[in-house]
């Protein structure tokens, strides 16, 4: 897993949006133990990086992000239809099923909210111990594309 610049964030790999689905890099799937749950929570990315952020509910419980679950119990219990967004402090959140290998289906509404389209290449970046980012643009993404080492693509 490359660190694309000294002191920088770690990149798990590159994932390509293909036919409304995306394969998350296996290293990220393993590190965040996504196979332990059938669903993940996604949120809009930052203004600079775009894309989306991937959370496992089990990591949110009891964390500083617990208020998201408390204020949106239907999201927390996966009682909303998959891909239905709720707002919390400037971000939009939804949930989707995830396969044990980390395959996500993104419907057209989700792609629009995340400002993505078929063929977009997203960089999986370690954000924190709670989530990782599937970034679409910005300085960090440009650095990854300039990186001379090998980065796996999925």
Q: How sure is the predictor about 1, in pLDDT bands with cuts at 50, 70 and 90?
A: very low
pTM beyond 0.85: the answer is yes
15-72, pLDDT tens digit by residue? Answer: 999 999 999 999 999 999 999 999 999 999 988 889 999 999 999 999 999 999 999 9
Both tokens of 138, joined, read 């910005």
Domain ranges of the chain: 11-146
SS3 35: helix
What is the topology classification, in CATH, of domain 11-146?
Chemotaxis protein chec (3.40.1550)
d(CA 138, CA 135): 8
d(CA 38, CA 54): 13
52: β partners:
44, 134
């Amino acid at each position: 897993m490359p660190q694309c610049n000294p002191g920088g964030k770690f990149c798990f790999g590159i994932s390509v949006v293909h036919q409304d689905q995306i394969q998350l890099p296996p290293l990220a799937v393993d590190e965040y133990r996504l196979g332990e749950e059938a669903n993940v929570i996604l949120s809009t990315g930052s203004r600079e990086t775009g894309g989306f952020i991937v959370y496992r509910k089990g990591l949110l419980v009891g964390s500083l992000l617990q208020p998201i679950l408390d204020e949106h119990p239907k999201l927390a219990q996966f009682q909303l239809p998959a891909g239905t967004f709720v707002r919390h402090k400037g971000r939009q959140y939804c949930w989707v099923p995830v396969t044990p290998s980390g395959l996500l289906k993104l419907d057209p509404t989700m792609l629009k909210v995340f400002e993505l389209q078929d063929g977009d290449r997203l960089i999986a970046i370690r954000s924190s111990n709670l989530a990782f980012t599937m970034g679409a643009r910005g300085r960090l993404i440009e650095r990854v594309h300039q990186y001379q080492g090998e980065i796996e693509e999925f």
